[in-house]
A = this chain, B = another copy of it.
Amino acid sequence: MTPTRKSKETQVKPLDVLWGGERPRPARGPRPGLSVDKIAAAAIRIADEEGLDALSMHHVAGKLGYTAMSLYRYVPSKEQLVDVVYDRALGPPPTAGRTGQPATDDPDGSDGSGAARDWRAEVRGWVRSMLTVYQQHPWLLDITTSSPPLGPNQLAWLEALLQAFAGIGLTDEEMLHLVMFVTGAVRDLAHTSSEMAQAPEKTGVSMEQIGEGYADAMRHLADSARFPMLARLVGSGTFEPNETPYNDTVPSLDFGLELLLDGVEEHVRRRLRG
């Protein structure tokens, strides 16, 4: 009978959700049984155990003993939930513990402290840690966020890599460029690796059969003059699975990264000289 009395309806703000903005307890209606934390945790568990496709509002709510619509009291949309889940699953970067002050106002590089730190090792470590996270939550790589990195953990990871590149003689702009380049390469290589790892279970085709299919396709072109370089790599056995598994992209990442860092060193050296 009541003709749809519109109450003021506490609206959920996107950024508050991302930063865990602790709504100041409602104080008028029934006590909330859920929270963004619980919802995000359940969502992450589902994604870990059943994959990103299983991450639906119904499923998450069901896992918590509620209906799908109840989630919308805490999260404005599934997309926003995914944004939160993304940041939460990332977790903090490895070096987040020591909040040093590597940001001096010295623009030219040497940070004044005596011992030069091993920035290459720091970058390498950051990359390994990132890879580990992606291996633990491969579905992170299938998420398309449509929003710039704004979550606390995303920013922390960004900050960590920036700190690794800090004070070695790069301009601010160059550091940002490098960070984007490196994160991009890591993300994509981890992505293809995870895709290929998931292929057997997803398509029901065994790893061996996939290898056969690949070999078959490659034979298609090895005799043809159409793909000479590919034919050459096939012939030299570069595509054969050696000691490392078929989908291991870490060697490519390591190789590319080292060359890139060599380039960085040469770049700052050149600038110092010139």
Contacts and interface: CB of A to CB of B under 8 A. Distances in A.
A241 to B, nearest CB: 13
B203 A155 contact: no
Interface centre among A184, A187, A220, A266 (most CB of B within 10 A): A184
A214 B232 CA distance: 49
A243 interface: no
Interface stretch (A22-30, A57-65, A114-122, A222-230): A222-230
B203 A172 contact: no
A144 B144 CA distance: 10
B155 A255 contact: no
Contact of A150 (B148, B214, B229): B214
Contacts of A11: none
Contacts of A150: 213-214, 217
B189 A181 contact: yes
Interface stretch (A2-10, A31-39, A128-136, A159-167): A159-167
Interface of A: 15, 19, 99, 101-103, 142, 144-148, 150, 155-156, 158-159, 162-163, 166, 172-178, 180-185, 187-189, 191-192, 195-196, 198-199, 202-203, 210, 213-214, 216-217, 220-221, 225-233, 236, 238, 249, 251-253, 255-264, 266-267
